[in-house]
Chain A
């Protein structure tokens, strides 16, 4: 493992769409695009209850996203803000499940609640509560012998 990056000042938005429609997710994503809000991370997938999704946006965009939700009947329900979060990104993962396993073991052992994680071509990003940032960073640094690079 070569390094870890911390991305802070983010908020997590969680949503659930009704089965077979996809309308809420579609409106949410279009709304973000129209208001110029970038997502640092997005994860969505089909479940028995419908399409569930979550994304991280900059805390400075929270007001714009809330305005979007309040101004759209489809988004008034079914889309919620969670607590402020940070992203901890480890690289490179080399498509090795052991890297994921060691990370989850370290975070689980330190009792860090996870809101999710996602791999990219070379990195794995974990979503943690902002209040747990120091503990989570220490757990991963200890596991891989790293120093965090603030972004």
Chain B
């Protein structure tokens, strides 16, 4: 369903009415939920001057065949907070291979293990408002606390403590519409 939203322009001297089309549906459609268990969340804080060295450390990990499920980063007063969500079996390898780099940081590397992840997509997710809000409100209403959330493009990723991804999928399935053929898929840990 396409809804039209009318609102006044933000420009004080411009009193025109802006009309914006938005895709809307009473129950938000998804392509299904996928959850992954057996993960580790590796976190490190890097100052601006350390970004090149972090890049080189990531290249060495990549050369060793270490992959990721999700990477995200945001700024804080301490620097760039970098998070890597990886299959748990890689956690020790990452700690070992990044030891030299980590020794040059203020706080070292933090590991949350085990961790789990739920991710999902849906029609026009990248261009619509309110999807993350609905997802996080749904989890909060059930008392499910997320560890992290990251969204870019049309994907929504929710990182959760051990044992919470199934509960999260059940809660989200009550609010979001899922394809009838499969309620959700489970991804097993992969290399």
Instruction: Specify the main secondary structure of chain A where it touches its partner.
Output: mixed
In the complex, are the beta carbons of A97 and B58 less than 8 A apart?
yes
Instruction: Tell which of B10, B59, B67, B153 touches A105, judged by Cβ atoms closer than 8 Å.
Output: B59
Interface residue? A134 (CB, 8 A): no
Q: With A97-B66, A108-B54, A116-B73 known to touch, is A125 a contact of B133 (CB < 8 Å)?
A: no
Interface residue? B80 (CB, 8 A): yes
In Å, the complex CA distance between A29 and B55 comes to 32
Q: With A118-B150, A120-B153 known to touch, is A101 a contact of B75 (CB < 8 Å)?
A: no
A118 neighbours in B (Cβ, 8 Å): 71-73, 150-152
The size bracket of the interface on B is 35 or more
In the complex, are the beta carbons of A104 and B52 less than 8 A apart?
yes
In the complex, are the beta carbons of B76 and A46 less than 8 A apart?
no
Would you list 20 pairs from A and B whose C-beta atoms are within 8 A, ordered by A residue?
A26-B136, A29-B136, A33-B134, A40-B126, A43-B73, A43-B74, A62-B10, A98-B61, A101-B59, A104-B51, A105-B55, A108-B51, A114-B73, A116-B75, A117-B72, A118-B151, A118-B152, A119-B71, A120-B153, A121-B153
Q: A residues within 8 Å of B by Cβ?
A: 14, 22, 25-26, 29-30, 32-33, 36-47, 52-54, 60, 62-64, 87, 89, 95-109, 113-121, 123-125
